[in-house]
C-alpha cells in the first residue's frame, strides 16, 4: 500500500504540473508585432558619401533601419509617422573620448577619496542621460579612477535600467606607478582601495596581467597612459610613462581577445612608441611632431584630439588646481590637429567630456572646423569615422539599411554653421525616441 500511495502521489504531481504548463501556454501573451516608424527628412546627411540629400524617407522597424529612399518610397500601412521635413536629419553622434563617471565639478582627482564607488555610479546616471539628449547615441568611455564603474553603467543602459548612450568602456586606466592615470597627490602612507589602483602596472608582464584582469571583467577596449598628463599632480605631459615594450604587451594581449588599445599620449616620443606598438588611436596628441604625424598616417592610427576642453581648463572652471592650469599646450595641440587634417591622418571625434560639462560635447565641432576640417569632415569624424575606430561601422555610424536606428535632427544648415549641432532637437536611439 505505501508503494501504491506514493505512485498515486507522484501521478497527481505530474498532472498538476502538466495542467499548469498547459494553462501557461494558452494564457501567455502573443509576441508583440514589430513597431514600424517612418521618418520624413527634409535634408539628409549621408555621411558615407559626404552628400546632402533632400526629401528622404527612413523606415525603421523596431531597433533597425529597414530602408532609406526618395520621398515617394512606399510607406507601410499602420506605421507611425514622424515629420522632420523642416529639419536636417543625420546619424546619431559618437564621442570617442568621454568619462561619464566623473564631472567638471570634480576638478581634482583626489576628490575620488571622498566618494565611494556607489556614489560615483549614481552620479554618472544624469551624465549619461544629458549626453544622449545632446545627440550622442554612442560613446567610447576611456577609463575611470574607480575601476569598473563604467562597466556597470554600460550594462545598466543596455538593460534599460537608465537612459544613456551605447557605451564601449575601458574599465580603468592602465598606468605606471605615479603615472598620468594614477591617483597622485595623496600622502605616501595612505593605501588606496583596490579600485583606485586597479590599473597600475610596471613592466610588460604586469601590463599583460592587468589587461587580462580587465578582459575578465568584460571591457570593450584597453586604455594605456603612454605619457604624462595635464590633469594629474606631479605628471609632466611631454614625458614618456610606458616604454614601447610595455605598450606592445598591452596591444598583443588585448588583440588575443579582439580588443583595441587607445593610448593617452601627449609627448612626441611617447606618441611614436604607441604608434609603433600598434595602438588603434592616439588620444590628445598634443606635442606630436611631423614624424609622428607621418607614422600615424602610414599605420592608419586615429587621432582623437580634445581641442575644445582647454576652454574649461584655462579659465579655472570650478576651481581647477593651479598646477593643472600652469601646464600649457592647448594652442600647440590645435595647430598639430590642423597639420593632421592637412596630411590626411584619420580623425575621430573625442572631447574628454567631464573636463567640460557633460552634454556640451558638440561645442568641439566649431573648433575642429576652425582648425582645418570642413563641417562635413567634422560630422564624419563623429559618425562613420568614429564607428570605424570602435570597430562597429556595420552597426551604427550612418543611416543605412540593417544598422541601428540612431538618428538625430537639428533645425538649420549644419554645413553653413556647424554650431547648429549644439542644439539637437530630435534624438532616436535604436528606434526609440528620447527627444522630440
What CATH number is given to the structural domain containing 413? 2.30.40.10
Instruction: Please indicate, yes or no, whether residues 338 and 237 belong to a single structural domain of this protein.
Output: yes
Residues 215, 72 share a domain: no
421, 373: one domain:
no
Beta-strand pair 407-410/426-429 = antiparallel
Half-sphere exposure of 149 (CA within 13 A, CB side): 26
Co-location of 56 and 112 in the same domain:
no
* Residue-by-residue pLDDT tens, the chain, 436 positions: 444 544 444 344 444 444 444 434 444 445 566 789 999 999 999 999 999 999 999 999 999 999 999 866 667 788 899 999 999 999 999 999 999 998 877 777 888 888 899 999 999 999 999 999 999 999 999 999 999 999 999 999 999 999 999 999 999 999 999 999 988 888 888 889 999 999 999 999 999 999 999 999 999 999 999 998 887 777 788 899 999 999 999 999 999 999 999 999 999 999 999 999 999 999 999 999 999 999 999 999 999 999 998 888 876 555 677 777 777 788 999 999 999 999 999 999 999 999 999 999 999 999 999 999 999 999 999 999 999 999 999 999 999 999 999 999 999 999 999 999 999 999 999 999 999 9
Question: Is there a single domain that holds both residue 295 and residue 430?
Answer: no
Q: Are 298 and 188 found together in one domain?
A: yes
Same domain, 423 and 316: no
Residues 282 and 340 in one domain: yes
Is residue 124 assigned to a domain?
A: yes
What 8-state DSSP symbol labels residue 86?
E
285: in domain = yes
* Domain of residue 305, CATH code: 3.20.20.140
233-247 pLDDT, tens digit per residue, is 777 888 999 999 999
Contact 361, 353 (CB under 8 A): yes
Is residue 114 located within the same domain as residue 42? no
Is residue 291, in this structure, part of any structural domain at all?
yes
Find the length of the chain.
436
CB-based contact 362:422 (threshold 8 Å):
yes
**What DSSP character marks residue 190?**
P
pLDDT, tens digit (0-9, with 9 covering 90-100), for 19-76: 444 434 444 445 566 789 999 999 999 999 999 999 999 999 999 999 999 866 667 7
Locus of grid cell 547648429: 420
Q: Whole-prediction pTM value?
A: 0.90
Do residue 152 and residue 55 come from a single domain?
Answer: no
Tell whether 80 is covered by a domain: yes
| Distance between CA atoms of residues 170 and 119, nearest Å | 20
Q: Are residues 342 and 236 in the same domain?
A: yes
119 in helix, strand or coil?
helix
Asked if residue 154 belongs to a domain, the reply is yes
**Total tally of structural domains belonging to the chain:** 2
Parallel, antiparallel or unpaired: strands 407-410 and 93-98: unpaired
Q: Is residue 410 part of a domain?
A: yes
**What are residue 183's phi and psi, to 5 degrees?**
-85, 90
3-state helix, strand, coil in the chain (%, to 5): 35, 20, 40
Residue 434 DSSP code: E
Domain containing 45 equals: 36-92+402-435
User: Has residue 216 been placed in a domain?
Assistant: yes
Measured between alpha carbons, how far is 111 from 231 in angstroms, rounded to an integer? Answer: 13
Residues 40 and 149 in one domain: no
Is 397 inside any structural domain? no
Amino acid at each position: 500500500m505505501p508503494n501504491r500511495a506514493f505512485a498515486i502521489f507522484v501521478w497527481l504531481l505530474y498532472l498538476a504540473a502538466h495542467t499548469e504548463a498547459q494553462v501557461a501556454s494558452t494564457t501567455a501573451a502573443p509576441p508583440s508585432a514589430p513597431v514600424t516608424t517612418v521618418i520624413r527628412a527634409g535634408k539628409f546627411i549621408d555621411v558615407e558619401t559626404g552628400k546632402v540629400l533632400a526629401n528622404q524617407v527612413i523606415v525603421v522597424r523596431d531597433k533597425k533601419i529597414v530602408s532609406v529612399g526618395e520621398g515617394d518610397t512606399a510607406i507601410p500601412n499602420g506605421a507611425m509617422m514622424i515629420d522632420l521635413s523642416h529639419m536636417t536629419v543625420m546619424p546619431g553622434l559618437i564621442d570617442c573620448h568621454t568619462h561619464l563617471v566623473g564631472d567638471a565639478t570634480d576638478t581634482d582627482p583626489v576628490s575620488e577619496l571622498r566618494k565611494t564607488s556607489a556614489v560615483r555610479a549614481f552620479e554618472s546616471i544624469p551624465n549619461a542621460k544629458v549626453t544622449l539628449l545632446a545627440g550622442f547615441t554612442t560613446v567610447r568611455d576611456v577609463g575611470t579612477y574607480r575601476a569598473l564603474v563604467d562597466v556597470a553603467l554600460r550594462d545598466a543602459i543596455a538593460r534599460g535600467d537608465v537612459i544613456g548612450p551605447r557605451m564601449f568602456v575601458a574599465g580603468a586606466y592602465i598606468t605606471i606607478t605615479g603615472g598620468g592615470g594614477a591617483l597622485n597627490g595623496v600622502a605616501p602612507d595612505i593605501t588606496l582601495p583596490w579600485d583606485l589602483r586597479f590599473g597600475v602596472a610596471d613592466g610588460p608582464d604586469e601590463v599583460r596581467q592587468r589587461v587580462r584582469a580587465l578582459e575578465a571583467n568584460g571591457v570593450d577596449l584597453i586604455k594605456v597612459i603612454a605619457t604624462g598628463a595635464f590633469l594629474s599632480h606631479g605628471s609632466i605631459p611631454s614625458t614618456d610613462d610606458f616604454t614601447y615594450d610595455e605598450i606592445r604587451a598591452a596591444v598583443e594581449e588585448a588583440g588575443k581577445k579582439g580588443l583595441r588599445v587607445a593610448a593617452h599620449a601627449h609627448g612626441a616620443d611617447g606618441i611614436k612608441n604607441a604608434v609603433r606598438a600598434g595602438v588603434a588611436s592616439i588620444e590628445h596628441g598634443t606635442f606630436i611632431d611631423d614624424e609622428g604625424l607621418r607614422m600615424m598616417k602610414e599605420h592608419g592610427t586615429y587621432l582623437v584630439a580634445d581641442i575644445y576642453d582647454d576652454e574649461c581648463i584655462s579659465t579655472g572652471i570650478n576651481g581647477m588646481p593651479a598646477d593643472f592650469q600652469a601646464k600649457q599646450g592647448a594652442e600647440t595641440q590645435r595647430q598639430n590637429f590642423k597639420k593632421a587634417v592637412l596630411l590626411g591622418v584619420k580623425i575621430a571625434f573625442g572631447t574628454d567630456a567631464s573636463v567640460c560639462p557633460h552634454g556640451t560635447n558638440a561645442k568641439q565641432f566649431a573648433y575642429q572646423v576652425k582648425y582645418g576640417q570642413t563641417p562635413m569632415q567634422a560630422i564624419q569624424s563623429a559618425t562613420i569615422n568614429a564607428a570605424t575606430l570602435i570597430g562597429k561601422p556595420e552597426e551604427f555610424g550612418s543611416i543605412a539599411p540593417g544598422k541601428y536606428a540612431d538618428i538625430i535632427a537639428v533645425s538649420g544648415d549644419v554645413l553653413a554653421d556647424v554650431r547648429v549641432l549644439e542644439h539637437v532637437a530630435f534624438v532616436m536611439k535604436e528606434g526609440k525616441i528620447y527627444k522630440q
